[in-house]
Structure 1
Amino acid sequence: MAGLGIDGLASSLETTSIITQLMQLEARPQTLLKTKLTATTSFLADLRSLNTAVAGIATSAKDVGSSASLALFSATASSDAATATARTGASAGSVTFRVQQTAQAQSIVTGAMTKWGSDPAVLTIKGADGTLTEITAASTSLEDVAAAINSAGAGVTATRVASGKAADGTAQYRLQLTAAQTGSAGAFTAYRGAKADVAAGTAPSLLAESGADQVAAARDASIVLWEGSSAEQTLTSSTNTFAEVLGGTDITVAKAATEPVTVTVAQDGNAASAVASGFVAKLSALFGTISVKSKVTPSTNAAGTPIVSAGSFTGDSTVRQLKDALLTAVIDPVEGKSLSTIGISVTRDGSVSFDAAKFGEALKSDPAGTQRMFSAAAARVQEVAEDASDSLDGFLTSKVTGQENAVKSLNENIAAWDLRLAKRKDMLQRQYTAMETAMSSIQSQSNWLASQLAALTPTSN
């Protein structure tokens, strides 16, 4: 019955419009709840974003708060005969040396052949440490022999190379075997035959065969330190990189040279400044977000009436507590000195700024003191940020949880109102339908009575 059109059935009233207006009045509490839900949901989203940013600040503060976070070094070489790279743990210093030779991988070629000389095709590779690797190819074709060597894990790669034709016109090939590792550590010997034959001394070396030769010998890289002095010393490396000539620095030789090379390791002020600048920039961005979302903006509505729009964080004590604590962590002196002495300052608008030139000067004049001040400030910021954003008991996290519960409660109340309003609307529709039905019945009875009375009245002739 509730779905029937009942407008003006007997009363000529627009009952559908009346019910709609009545339901709008009935729904006013739910409308207020929906408005509050929209505002709470927006506030919750901003709080979650802020909490994530604060957690990021905590992580960043922990990363840069170590006692060596600014101890960054760069290495330079005086010649293109070598390059140098400072690693974590490097320290200032320099060393001079001459590049005697670079590292080289052993490479040999076999004599020309149309196929492997024995079936099955078996050979053995002996590594520099004496390890024997026996290899059996799928067939006597040199392509299969090369494939078997490459998959054997013997520290040697093989390539089949065209080598003209035999007297009968058959295509000939050579195998080029190259050590996977440079230097003496990659040296190898290749034998025709099985491991047992090598152990017995009966397996011939491939280099002993006609037309075979060693293209490149295994060679370590070597540098000469303090050449010409009584302390002269030669260092070798199986690769072109020397890792421990200067602690924490990799020196890679590129070519032999007669002129000495000087490698210098010094503190990298630009890199250290970038660490501090990046940390301050994250704090500044966080303060900027809080400031924007705490702003009160006056304006006028469509009717010209003055109104005030507040940001989602305006007047929120938890957000204010967070900002005040972070600013205090930056403002408070370290060892009796303000952080402004190393280029980190609090601005008038409640943010932080970084002076790279001032920081660089402080780092240059007192690297240890600058490191202590920066690490202490980072540790204080880390403590505040963790207290706020801890996933279990952070005060900002608790605020987020509270707002999540508020959103859940509002949704439940709105859903309950949906049921209540649906029942109310159904009741109104039934009441007005009953009214229209009753009035229609009364009108029918009235019409019948009128007709009966008319029938009883005598007519004039």
Structure 2
Amino acid sequence: MGMAVDGLISGLDTTSLINQLMQAEAIPQTLLKNKVTDSTTYITALQSLNSKVAALADSAGKLAKPAGVDLHTASSSSTSVTATAGPGATDGTIDFTVDKVAQSQVTVTGPLTQWPDQPPVLTFVGSDGKVTQVTATSSSLADVAAAINKAGVGVSATRVSAGLDPSGQPLYRLQLSSTKTGATGSFTAYRGTPADVTAGTATNLLTEPGAAQVRAAQDAQLTLWAGTGAAQVVTSSTNSFTDVLPGVSVSVTTASTTPVTLTIARDDASITNVASSLVGSINDILSFISQQQAVTTSTNSTGGTVVTAGTFAGDLTVRDADQKLTAAAQAPIDGISPSTYGIVVASDGSISLDKDVFAAAMAKDPDKTKAAVQAVAARVADAAGLISDKHDGTVTTKITGEQKTVKGLSDQVADWDVRLADRRSTLEKTYANLEVQLQQLQSQSSWLTGQLASLSTSSS
């Protein structure tokens, strides 16, 4: 508790005195706080490094897999046909015609003011023979549509306005549509129960006045090598085909008898990009380490030179990480230098991909060049994993250790807060007691002076 007023008796600036004493007392705590600040900065830098390396481990691991550089482009001679080439695709061309596109079944009832049965009971029979009964809560066509939609029979129902009957009552049709395309989406709808359907007494909705099938369910169909003895039909319940060519997905939008040519080719541009991305990620990490290791100089207020070591300067863990990644990128591949494939190391240690050299290597031996990229990626993934593994990576472990150190230092700082508070309280009490004692001495002095004065008067 601080004193309300500085030394009234002594005239001392006790607050300033105590503050100066406390500054001296707090030097050990200040040193601890500086260590916490430095360690926190170090941990932040390590975490940033670890995040970069972990991301590299993930991307390099994917690139090292067979599909990593198995990249192709797919092009079509028709705007109504699109294709995507994925892993497993092979270069080549193929011709086919789009005979049919996939479509859902659409059926409409005749015009009705309300459903003719009460309660409305319908039975749906799917293409697989599955029989489902639907019962509506009333003869309202809106309730019938709602019951069909809720039943999950693979059919959606919509009430559509159809004018007025002779008495002026509104008429509606129910449009029944299969929820999926293809022949498997076909259905038959009946008025009546499943037992009525079995007995042959149920009414097929299509046989009622004004009813019609707007569109029949059908599969999409391609014909390979149309017009030849090798003609082959391929069907799909959707407008997408995944079994025309290995690793190639084909989508169609319009039927046409005009042959479509599909061309699959190696995607050199994408392969170059993934190789460049790998090398760029490695270089980004090495540059980050170099920046954090750099020693800087500055001038202080008196004109002197101040030399400041980088956060990672002299750090053996970080140096080891740098060496592992550099070796993974620079080591020969089956006795061949990575520079043969365009992976170039500059005099300052930076790494880059010479795209012209890489393109020449791809043109000369694409399989060997792709294998070289995957070999480097595999080595980098392994090295990055050893560094950044979330359980026992070298940098991860270092971060964990430093965090424990910071916690210990922070606990010591907190202990010092208590210790310094006690010390300040002691000093305040000491100076307060000093004032009391000085006051007592001053009172005694005044009394003695008075006594002496009275003695002198008596003597005279």
Same fold (TM over 0.5): yes
What is the deviation of 1:357?
3.6
Q: Which amino acid aligns with 2:231?
A: E
Per-residue deviation, 1:460: 9.8
Structure 1 pair 416–108 and aligned structure 2 pair: CA distance change class (3 A): closer
- In the TM superposition, residue 290 of structure 1 has moved relative to its aligned partner by 1.4
Q: CA 1:416/1:188 → structure 2, altered by over 3 Å: closer, same or farther?
A: closer
Asked if 1:361 is matched to 2:364, the reply is: no
In structure 1, C-alpha distance between the alignment counterparts of 2:457 and 2:115, rounded to whole Å: 140
Return 251-260 or 139-148, whichever deviates more. Answer: 251-260
The residue number in structure 1 matching 2:164 is 165
Q: Aligned equivalents of 1:377 and 1:64: distance in 2? A: 9
8 A Cα contact 1:226 1:232, kept in partner = yes
Q: Are residues 149 and 338 of structure 1, via their aligned partners in 2, closer, same or farther at CA, if it must alter by over 3 Å?
A: same
For 1:378, the aligned partner's letter is A
Structure 1 length as normaliser, TM-score? 0.93
Q: Show the 5 A alignment for 1:372-411.
A: 372-411=371-410
Say whether residues 1:436 and 2:438 are aligned partners. Answer: no
| Mean Cα deviation higher: 323-332 or 162-171 | 162-171
Asked if the contact 1:112/1:211 (under 8 Å) is kept, the reply is: yes
Q: Offset at 1:214?
A: 1.8
- 1:91 maps to which residue? 90
Worse overlay, 406-415 or 361-370: 361-370
Secondary structure of 2:188's aligned partner = strand
Deviations 1:48-88 (A, max 9, x none): 22222222222222111113310012211112242212233
Structure 1 residues 419 and 218 mapped into 2: Cα distance closer, same or farther (>3 Å)? Answer: closer
State the TM-score, normalizing by the size of structure 2: 0.94
Aligned to 1:370: 369
User: In the alignment, does 2:436 pair up with 1:425?
Assistant: no
| Aligned AA (1:300) | T
Q: Which residue of 2 aligns with 1:349?
A: 348
Contact (CA 8 Å) 1:330, 1:346: kept in 2 or not? no
Aligned to 1:130: 129
Q: Are residue 305 (structure 1) and residue 270 (structure 2) matched? A: no
CA distance in 2, matches of 1:4, 1:383: 65
Measured in 2, the distance between the counterparts of 1:161 and 1:333 equals 72
1:213 equivalent in structure 2:
212
Aligned to 1:239: 238
3-state SS of paired residue (2:332): coil
Q: Secondary structure at 2:68's aligned position in 1?
A: coil
In structure 2, the CA distance between the partners of 1:50 and 1:333, relative to structure 1 (3 Å rule), is: same
Q: Which residue of 2 aligns with 1:10?
A: 9
Displacement after TM superposition at 1:371 (Å): 2.3
Alpha-carbon distance in structure 1 between the residues aligned to 2:20 and 2:106 = 95
Counterpart position of 2:256: 257
SS at match of 1:452: helix
- From the superposition, tell whether residues 309 and 143 of structure 1 become closer, same or farther in structure 2 (CA, over 3 Å): same
The CA distance in 1 between the partners of 2:68 and 2:13, in whole Å, is: 78
Q: How far apart are residue 218 of structure 1 and its match?
A: 2.4
Amino acid at match of 1:383: D
**Does the residue aligned with 1:230 lie in a helix, a strand or coil?**
coil
Deviation of the 1:244 alpha carbon: 0.6
Q: Deviations over 1:227-274 (max 9, x none)?
A: 232212233333222221111212222222232111111121222222
1:6 shift after superposition: 6.3
Q: 1:127, CA displacement in angstroms?
A: 1.2
Deviation at 1:3, TM superposition (A): 3.5
CA contact under 8 A between 2:91 and 2:264: conserved in structure 1? Answer: yes
Query: Which has the larger displacement, 160-169 or 118-127?
Result: 160-169
Distance in 2 separating the partners of 1:7 and 1:171: 98
After TM superposition, the structure 1 stretch with the greater mean CA deviation from structure 2, 312-321 or 194-203, is 312-321
Q: Is the 8 A contact 1:81 1:99 kept in 2?
A: no
Equivalent residue runs for 1:193-204 within 5 Å: 193-204=192-203
Amino acid of the structure 1 residue aligned with 2:446: N
Deviates more, 1:15-24 or 1:62-71: 15-24
Q: Is the 8 A contact 1:81 1:257 kept in 2?
A: no
Contact 1:74 1:85 in 2 (8 A): yes
Aligned to 2:229: 230
Q: Deviations for 1:288-308, whole angstroms, at most 9, x for unmatched residues?
A: 221222121111011111111
Amino acid in the other structure paired with 1:362:
A
The amino acid of 2:335's aligned partner reads: G
Query: How many Å separate the matches in 2 of 1:141 and 1:392?
Result: 65
Q: CA deviation at 1:193?
A: 1.0
Q: Are 1:100 and 2:115 an aligned pair? A: no
Residue type of the alignment partner of 2:404: N
Structure-to-structure mapping, 1:168-187, within 5 angstroms: 168-187=167-186
Q: 1:444 to 1:273 in 2, by over 3 A?
A: same
How far apart, CA to CA, are the structure 2 residues paired with 1:120 and 1:364? 75
C-alpha separation in 2, matches of 1:253 and 1:458: 131
Q: Structure 1's 428 and 113: CA in aligned 2 closer, same or farther, altered over 3 A?
A: closer
Match of 1:414 in 2: 413
Alpha carbons of structure 1 residues 373 and 6: separation in structure 2 relative to 1, 3 Å = same
- Deviation of residue 458 (structure 1)? 4.9
CA contact (8 A) 2:67 2:87 kept: no
**Deviation by residue 1:417-440 (Cα, 9 ceiling, x = unmatched):** 223323333333333333333333
With over 3 angstroms needed to count, the CA separation of the structure-2 counterparts of 1:437 and 1:238, relative to structure 1, is: closer
Distance change >3 Å, CA 159–CA 435, structure 1 → 2? closer
Any conservation in 1 of the 2:219–2:237 contact (CA below 8 Å)? yes
Contact 2:2 2:425 in 1 (8 A): no
Give secondary structure in 2 for the equivalent of 1:375.
helix
| Aligned residue identity for 2:9 | A
Q: Give the C-alpha shift of residue 32 in structure 1.
A: 1.6
For 1:372, the aligned partner's letter is A
Unaligned stretches of 5+ in structure 2? Answer: none
Shift in CA distance, 365/201, structure 1 to aligned 2, threshold 3 Å: farther
Q: 1:95 to 1:10 in 2, by over 3 A?
A: same
2:329 matched residue in structure 1 = 330
Give the distance between the partners of 2:180 and 2:459, measured in 1 at CA.
137
| Rounded Cα–Cα distance in structure 2 between residues aligned with 1:343 and 1:52 | 27
In the TM superposition, what whole-angstrom CA distance separates every residue of 1:175-224 from its partner, at most 9, and x where no partner exists?
22222222322222121111111111111211111222222222332222
2:48 maps to a residue whose letter is: S
Q: Could you tell me which amino acid in structure 2 is paired with residue 111 of structure 1?
A: G
Q: What SS does the aligned partner of 1:455 have?
A: helix
